Amino acid sequence: MCVMACVAPVAGSVSVAAAEPVPVYRNAAVPVEERIDDLLSRMTTREKVLQLNQFYIGTNNNVNNIGEVVNGIPAEVGSLIYFDGDPALRNAMQRRAVEESRLGIPILFGYDVIHGFRTVYPTSLAQACSWNPALVSEACAVAAQEARQSGVDWTFSPMIDVARDPRWGRVVEGYGEDPYVNGVFGAASVRGYQGDNIADSLKVAACLKHYVAYGASEAGRDYVYTEVSPQTLWDTYLLPYQMCVEAGAQTLMSSFNDISGTPGTANHYTLTEVLKDMWGHDGFVVSDWDAVKQLVAQGNAADMKEAALHAFNAGVEMDMMSYAYDHHLEELIAEGKVSPQRLDDAVRRVLRIKMRLGLFENPYTPEVPDRFLRPASRVTAGRLAAESMVLLKNDSTATLPLKEVSKIAVIGPLAKSKADMLGSWHCHGNPDDVTTLYEGIMNEYGNGAEVRYALGVDKDGDDTSGIAEAVEAAAWADVVILHLGEDYRWGGENASRSTIALPAIQEKLAEAVAGTGKPVVLVLSNGRPLDLSRLEPHANAILEAWQPGVNGGDAMAGILSGRINPSGKLAITFPYSTGQIPIYYNRRPTARPFDRQGLYQDITSEPLYPFGHGLSYTTFEYGTPKADRIDFVADDTIEITIPVTNTGDLTGDETVLWFINDPYSSITRPVKELKYFEKKHLSPGETAEYTFRIDPMRDLAMVDGTGRRILEPGEYRVLVADKVLTLNYKGEKLSR
């Protein structure tokens, strides 16, 4: 990459004035807002506009975003997407900005560090099934360290789009179907990326995306219209954003989708009235890639100039890659359509993040040897992989854990696939770093058992010629470990699918292998919930291993052998069939819950595996929940506890999920809403007390279509496992 050929200072600019004493904006001892006042007073309109643009540098590895070739990157540009994995290119470009531009404003380098930089850990959807936000923070801290030391200051993560349609490829990038779970894991990752101080050389700024309601994409098709009522916007889609803004997320990315007639990127209500005015967010919003320009395709703007006007005045401060701001903002300012106040506010927000990151003081990235794949980082990735995996089925003969097996057949197109274990958006992940299931089994059993491998079939297609060899291996073995699933490219952006069943050829392989009568352990690696209705009968046990990252193979093998007791639970429903979509646990009640009315006439209306489902090798018994009060007032904290005992022979982790239900209210509410969860480690025979401290306004009140929280008098139920406890609010109706 020839940096010098790619960059060009803004026309007419000169290098940083040498004669002047240190200007106020360069003095780190002065409060940030004063430094920005000083800097703004020195900037030309063109320099301000350039701060509001993001281009890229390096070679892109996202096929959806090839973009235009950038021939000349102005040294005054606000931000660059940094595709390179090395600090050198960044430093060369940064030197141009800092040493050769008039004001020396450093560039902010961003990138999609989604589930690891080089040490790739499980996808976000998998992470949510661990119910261990502290571990997710740890993994994100590893990603931040590797990223910052490679020249990235800012990650376009976490994605906290509630997603209830698994046909949508991007379901893999978020934390599942529940708003609260998205909020908790999003906040955990924000804390992991940012720490207490983003000026720390091991931290990066986070970016919440895609603001907002992108997960509601109609029929699971990417980039399309979303139909979202104000009520649903608030009770489902905005909640995780609010939680993550409160956790300190520095930036947000505006979404591609048209929200009921106003695209996310031109939506003054969500971008300004809610985010800035109501929640007081003082960072900035970057558009998604080309999203400003796409306002034209969406019918929101007649041309690029109008697109720039709509997006900028709605509240998008930085234009990612569409050049609409670059080409039109100055003209719009001159015409009085964009106010100088709005311009300064936008630039201030961008500069604020740069100052908080310490870029003015430390613009360059030092070369740190051995920054990737440190042993402790791999351990974190492996732990998260193990905790994310969900044991979906273990039949009555308890196939798992596999003890005393001497002949193991490892079969299937995923068993030796390294790239598929990395999943979509795997940043600078390298397949060579990955342990596959086959390697994991060899490590786990290699000395004590004979292992045979057969591919069987490819992930898709119609070549059945390998099935005979797979059947032969199965017939020889004591047990078959069958690894099926998705190619990593079947998930992520622009990866919608009309069915969530695996291709027929994989089902055919399962049927043939099961025909030998040998016990079959089905291991799945995929980025979305699957329709397993035809596969499930062929498997004695099913482990949902997801796309587990670099240490996935050892985690999978460890669970199969019993070295690791599985503890994951689903953070998203597995439908029985694609036709049931959308199906999610927190739906509103039906008008006819009795006499089996309103159900499908041709198939079950129940999902195959519901939200929260996940088996362990031990057993847990829930005692009776107790509340310290039943009648409460709004300012009370109600403490509810439940004892849980490990009644089996093995140590295990149990996550208790606390739901609430408001049976009658002026705005109808879901049959169940998750409000809290906690995971604990229990030895055999041990009893642990789990506690849910209820803040009535936060946990029991409903939110209306304007964001007000309302607590109405009456009954509230707390649901934990199969137990119900009823609380009573006898006060006045309250709204805040």
* Cβ-proximal residue to ligand BGC, closest one: 156
Q: Give the interface segment with ligand BGC, choosing from 1-9, 60-68, 127-135, 303-311 (CB under 6 A).
A: 60-68
Which of 51, 53, 65, 646 is close enough to bind ligand BGC by CB under 6 A? 65
Q: How far is the CB of 237 from ligand BGC (least distance, A)?
A: 16
| Separation CA 423–CA 115 (nearest Å) | 9
| Separation CA 500–CA 517 (nearest Å) | 27
DSSP class of 700: I
Q: Are 60 and 80 in contact, with CB atoms under 8 Å apart?
A: no
Question: Is residue 577 involved in binding ligand BGC (CB under 6 A)?
Answer: no
Question: Is residue 585 involved in binding ligand BGC (CB under 6 A)?
Answer: no
Residue with tokens 């890229």: 56
Specify the amino acid at residue 103: L
Residues 6+ apart with CB under 8 A from 299: none
Question: Is residue 153 involved in binding ligand BGC (CB under 6 A)?
Answer: no
CB of 206 or CB of 391, closer to ligand BGC: 206
Q: How far is the CB of 658 from ligand BGC (least distance, A)?
A: 32
Site size for ligand BGC (CB under 6 A): 9
Q: How far is the CB of 64 from ligand BGC (least distance, A)?
A: 5
Q: Give the interface segment with ligand BGC, choosing from 57-65, 469-477, 580-588, 641-649 (CB under 6 A).
A: 57-65
| Separation CA 331–CA 594 (nearest Å) | 63
Residues 6+ apart with CB under 8 A from 245: 208, 252, 275, 279, 281
| Separation CA 664–CA 661 (nearest Å) | 9
CB of 52 or CB of 513, closer to ligand BGC: 52
DSSP class of 357: T
Residue with tokens 């701060």: 51
Q: Give the interface segment with ligand BGC, choosing from 61-69, 457-465, 521-529, 584-592 (CB under 6 A).
A: 61-69
Specify the amino acid at residue 153: D
257 — phi, psi (to 5°)?
-75, 150
Q: How far is the CB of 295 from ligand BGC (least distance, A)?
A: 15
Q: Give the interface segment with ligand BGC, choosing from 58-66, 86-94, 358-366, 656-664 (CB under 6 A).
A: 58-66
251-270 binders of ligand BGC (CB under 6 A): none
CB of 76 or CB of 173, closer to ligand BGC: 173
Which of 13, 27, 44, 64 is close enough to bind ligand BGC by CB under 6 A? 64
Q: Are 254 and 207 in contact, with CB atoms under 8 Å apart?
A: no
Question: Is residue 209 involved in binding ligand BGC (CB under 6 A)?
Answer: yes
Which of 13, 62, 647, 651 is close enough to bind ligand BGC by CB under 6 A? 62
CB of 13 or CB of 64, closer to ligand BGC: 64
Q: How far is the CB of 219 from ligand BGC (least distance, A)?
A: 18
Residue with tokens 């140590």: 651
Strands 319-320 and 520-525: unpaired
Q: Give the interface segment with ligand BGC, choosing from 40-48, 59-67, 469-477, 572-580 (CB under 6 A).
A: 59-67
Catalytic residue, from 258, 288, 326, 699: name it.
288
Which of 161, 177, 288, 487 is close enough to bind ligand BGC by CB under 6 A? 288
Question: Is residue 293 involved in binding ligand BGC (CB under 6 A)?
Answer: no
Question: Is residue 112 involved in binding ligand BGC (CB under 6 A)?
Answer: yes
Residue 11, both tokens: 């026309």
Q: How far is the CB of 385 from ligand BGC (least distance, A)?
A: 23
| Separation CA 572–CA 607 (nearest Å) | 11
Q: How far is the CB of 256 from ligand BGC (least distance, A)?
A: 7
| Separation CA 537–CA 518 (nearest Å) | 13
Residue 639, both tokens: 């403490």
- Side-chain-facing half-sphere of 652: CA atoms under 13 Å: 27
Which of 25, 83, 154, 289 is close enough to bind ligand BGC by CB under 6 A? 289
Which of 156, 546, 574, 632 is close enough to bind ligand BGC by CB under 6 A? 156
CB of 47 or CB of 288, closer to ligand BGC: 288
CB of 176 or CB of 696, closer to ligand BGC: 176
Residue 670, both tokens: 């879901």
CB of 321 or CB of 400, closer to ligand BGC: 321
Strands 479-485 and 258-259: unpaired
CB of 288 or CB of 554, closer to ligand BGC: 288
Bridge partners (DSSP) of residue 640 are: 627, 692
431 — phi, psi (to 5°)?
-55, -30
Question: Is residue 619 involved in binding ligand BGC (CB under 6 A)?
Answer: no
Question: Is residue 690 involved in binding ligand BGC (CB under 6 A)?
Answer: no
Quick one: CA dihedral 162, 166, 172, 175, positive or negative?
positive
Residue with tokens 């952006």: 493
Instruction: Tell me the C-alpha to C-alpha distance, in Å, between residue 658 and each of 63, 187, 570, 625, 724.
Output: 41, 19, 15, 11, 10
351-390 binders of ligand BGC (CB under 6 A): none
In the annotation, is 653 catalytic?
Answer: no
| Separation CA 455–CA 306 (nearest Å) | 55
Q: How far is the CB of 52 from ligand BGC (least distance, A)?
A: 17
CB of 251 or CB of 436, closer to ligand BGC: 251
| Separation CA 122–CA 555 (nearest Å) | 11
Q: Which of 169, 81, 157 is nearest to 114 (CA)?
A: 157
CB of 342 or CB of 489, closer to ligand BGC: 489
Active-site residue set: 288
Binding site for ligand BGC (CB under 6 A): 62, 64-65, 112, 156, 209, 288-289, 493
